[in-house]
Amino acid sequence: MGSRFSFTDEALDNLKVYGVSSGEVWEALHSTRRVIRHLGDDVMVVYATARRGRRLAILLAEADHGDNDWDILSARDLSDSESKRYEEAIRGWRR
């Protein structure tokens, strides 16, 4: 079974700050071109591309109510250095 994602109220506010739509986040989280970095046991960031090519960093925290349930905390555009690392990881998959 795959992961389930939910938007927190704070996440929806953060998306507005960064000009990211919830649809873009959803597309990126379900993209086949994702790079996942665990920042601890219950926090991770996903680097991924939405359908129109926007590259996002999505911050997630494990939800209290179940395994593989994640709360979306925030999303923003990748920085230049993150974008470079993301591209290198994706390129490595094609070899």
- pLDDT value, residue 94: 57
Q: Looking at the predicted structure, is the pLDDT value of residue 21 above 80?
A: yes
Q: Which burial class, exposed, middle or buried, applies to 94 when counting CB atoms under 10 A from its CB (0-12, 13-18, 19+)?
A: exposed
Which residue, 59, 70, 54, is CA-closest to 19?
54
pLDDT band at 41 (very low <50, low <70, confident <90, very high): confident
Q: How far is CA 5 from the centre of its chain?
A: 10
Sort strands 69-77 and 34-38 into parallel, antiparallel or unpaired. Answer: unpaired
Sort strands 69-77 and 4-7 into parallel, antiparallel or unpaired. Answer: parallel
CA distance 30 to 85: 20
CA distance 53 to 41: 30
Instruction: Sketch the domain layout of the chain as residue ranges.
Output: 4-93
